[in-house]
């Protein structure tokens, strides 16, 4: 029984430690992938769709939470344009959890924390305080012609009911 408890505790600490190490000590391939994620977010914050789109594969897809459909590149572009017309992104904070590289494929898991302000759609700011939105992301990239390109992602909004040690919860409290 003592041995089972010891193994359980060791596994828990091992998982926690490996997540922390992955987030902080990336090898060169992982750093390259993570830099692609950061570049996309900088372009998003700046509202520069052109810079953002060069990071996306032409066959990119993502689930649409509103319609339930799998959206392709063109549908996503329309959604992004609408979002950028209706909100101003004041700040973005990214918290990497794991960056996994499997040859020419990569999976990135992280939490984003965006501070946004709703606008009228014409770039004019409306009244009200900025809103903070935290989302748990899974991004999928492929390396093509030496460049990492997004082929898909999934984002799940964080909630206040997350466990105290959840990366989402920690991101919400910052």
- Give buried/exposed letters for 61-85 (b at 16+ CB in 10 A, else e): bbeeeeeeeebeeeebbeeeeeebe
Coil/strand/helix, residue 40: helix
Residue 128 CA: distances (Å) to CA of 34, 89, 113 = 34, 14, 19
Task: Give per-residue pLDDT as tens, 69-116.
Answer: 999 988 888 888 988 888 899 999 999 999 999 999 999 999 999 999
Coil/strand/helix, residue 65: coil
Say yes or no to pLDDT of 23 above 50.
Answer: no
In this prediction the pTM is: 0.79
> For the chain, which domains are there?
27-172 (3.10.450.50)
β partners of residue 36:
none
Coil/strand/helix, residue 110: strand
Coil/strand/helix, residue 70: strand
Q: Which helix (H) or strand (E) holds 89?
A: strand 87-102
């Amino acid at each position: 029984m003592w041995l089972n408890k010891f193994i359980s505790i060791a596994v828990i600490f091992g998982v926690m430690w490996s997540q922390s190490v992955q987030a902080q000590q990336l090898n060169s391939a992982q750093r390259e992938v993570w830099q692609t994620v950061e570049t996309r977010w900088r372009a998003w914050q700046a509202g520069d769709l052109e810079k953002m789109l060069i990071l996306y594969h032409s066959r990119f897809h993502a689930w649409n939470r509103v319609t339930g459909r799998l959206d392709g590149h063109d549908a996503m572009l329309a959604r992004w344009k609408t979002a950028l017309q209706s909100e101003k992104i004041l700040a973005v904070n990214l918290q990497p959890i794991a960056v996994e590289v499997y040859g020419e494929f990569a999976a990135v898991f992280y939490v984003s924390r965006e501070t946004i302000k709703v606008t009228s759609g014409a770039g004019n700011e409306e009244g009200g305080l900025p809103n903070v939105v935290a989302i748990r992301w899974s991004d999928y990239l492929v390396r093509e012609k030496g460049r990492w390109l997004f082929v898909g992602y999934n984002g799940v909004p964080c909630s206040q009911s997350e466990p105290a040690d959840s990366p989402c919860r920690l991101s919400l409290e910052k």
